[in-house]
Structures are given as structure tokens and as C-alpha cells.
Amino acid sequence: MGILSGLDGLGLGSLENMDIFADEEKEKAAVKAKAAAAAKTEEKDIVFDRTYECPVCGLHFPSKAVKTGKAKLLGTDSDLRAKYDIIDPGKYDVILCPKCGYAALGRFFDKITHPQVNLIKEKISPTVQVPEYDDPIYTYPEALERYKLALINAVVKKARASEKAYICLKSGWVVRGYKESLQAEESPDGKLIAELEKQENEYLQNAYKGFVEARQSESFPMCGMDETTVDYLLAVLAVRFKKYDVAGRMVASILGSPSANPRMKDKARDLKEEILKELKKK
């Protein structure tokens, strides 16, 4: 018999089996759920304004950056694009001066020569119209707009093939992130997704072309990547565009390299299996 038995004789029999602490437990659960919702981290919570000095015009200006260690790595795509749980860090990798229009990826922003500065001042600064970015985060369209400015700056300043290729690679990754965000919506815009698919391919084709050229004319490390990493990236892109002979050579180079680490060799073996499967389909 429960501790509330006997209430029937008092006209409250329907309440005999009540849990005397149920309301308290429910209240605690509600408070906990509310606290969890309040504590949920959003993209704007791990973005901050970092101040830069423009090497072209000298302006000190803020540009949004991602707080380190605040997003959890979920995995990596075959072409080395890292994916995180809250944010797409690639959206924040372009630094853009709002005054003169100079734009570059973070790793290249300060690495500009005097002749390159003159080229930017001559061909970019007089006519560029830099949009205002007032929201707490960069949207995907805004991020891609910034990447386009970084790419045209790289072309104008006659940057190395590797820099232009890297901008195209990361642009392709951001386009992919945009596409994935749309695909996760309840009613995806199929037309826009198809257009983004074309854009991604175009960017990655240019990345492939640029890295092939850079590998023949530049030294390593290249954009922070060693030779093995660049070879693997080229192999993955070559497979994407059905250049299996090139992919095979890159994979063989990695597997035969004494400096390639075991993890990269495992990835190369997996890619080799994929190449063999694709060749069997022919």
C-alpha cells in the first residue's frame, strides 16, 4: 500500500497513487532544459572582431575571426575540408580592407611586396566598392563575395599559382558548406543547390589547375602543406575530374615516399582502391 492510501475514505481516492515529488522533478527538468537551451552555443558566440592593419593603405580595421577551440571537429572530407559542429570557419578566412579593397586569405594577408601594393592601388582601390558587413556573422553569400575579392586581388597582384589555387580550393569548400546548409532545410531550393554544385566544380577545377602548375614551379611547403599533402590533394581532385592517370601517379608517389606518414599512406591506399573501382567501370 502506498503512503497516500486511505485517501479514498476522504473523497480523494483518485489521488492515492500520485508521486509526491513529481512536480518538483518536473520543475527541475524544466529548469535544466531551459538552462541547456540558454547555454547552447551559436555561431555568433564563437566569432569576434579582430583588428588588422592593412599593408596597402595602413588602415586599422576589424574583421571577424573564429575563436580557437570553441568548435568541435566532426570530420574531414576526402579533399581535406574540415567540418565543425557549430560553424564553417572557412567563411571567416578572408581579410578585407574596407577602405582600399585589398583582400587576401589570412595566411597571405601580410605577405605582399611593394610592387604588389602598387598594383592594388592602381587597379583595385580607385573603383572598388566594399560592402558593409554589420551582422554578427558572415552569411555564405557574404563569405563568397569576400572570396571573390581575395581572388581578384591575387590575380591583380600577380600572386603565385599556389595562392590562387588555395583561394579557389577554399572557395569550393565554402560553396559546399553553403550547399549543405541549404540541403538541410525543410524545403531546399533545388535550383540554387544545382547552381552551387556547378560553382563548386568550377572552383575545384581551378584549384586543381593551379596546384599542378605550382607543383612544377614552386617549392614546399606550399600554403602550409608539405609535398605529400599536396600530392594527396591533387590525387583526390584528379579522381573527381576523372583524371585517373594523374591520380594514380600521385598515389604511387605517396606510397613510395619515405617521408609520408602512416596516416597519409592509409588515405592513399583507400584512394587507390577507389581509382581501381572507377577504372573497372570503364
Q: Which residues contact 159 (CB under 8 A, 6 or more apart)?
A: 108, 116, 153
pLDDT at residue 209 greater than cutoff 50: yes
The candidate with the shortest Cα–Cα distance to 54, out of 123, 153, 137, 178, is 153
pLDDT at residue 104 greater than cutoff 70: yes
Q: What is the pLDDT of residues 23-64, one digit of tens each?
A: 666 666 666 665 555 468 899 999 999 999 999 999 999 999
* Residue whose entry in the numeric block shows the C-alpha cell 600530392: 231
Mean pLDDT, residues 144-159 taken together: 98
pLDDT for residue 269: 96
Alpha-carbon distance 131 to 120, whole Å? 18
Q: Which residues contact 158 (CB under 8 A, 6 or more apart)?
A: 116, 119
The C-alpha cell at 270 is 583507400
* Confidence tier at 17 by pLDDT (50, 70, 90): confident
pLDDT for residue 281: 83
Mean pLDDT, residues 149-156 taken together: 98
The Cβ of residue 208 has, within 10 Å, a number of other Cβ atoms equal to: 24
The candidate with the shortest Cα–Cα distance to 78, out of 270, 209, 226, 206, is 270
* Confidence tier at 12 by pLDDT (50, 70, 90): confident
pLDDT for residue 28: 67
- Burial (CB < 10 A; 0-12, 13-18, 19+), residue 78, is middle
Q: What percent of the chain has pLDDT over 90?
A: 82
Name all contacts of 25-32 with Cβ < 8 Å and 24+ positions apart.
none
By mean pLDDT, which of 22-36, 82-96, 163-177 is the weakest?
22-36
Quote the pTM value: 0.86
Alpha-carbon distance 131 to 211, whole Å? 31
Alpha-carbon distance 149 to 184, whole Å? 28
Cross-strand partners of 62: 51
pLDDT for residue 19: 75
Alpha-carbon distance 62 to 240, whole Å? 38
Count, residues in the chain: 282
Question: H helices within the chain, ranges in order?
Answer: 22-39, 114-123, 140-156, 161-183, 190-217, 227-240, 244-255, 262-281
pLDDT for residue 5: 73
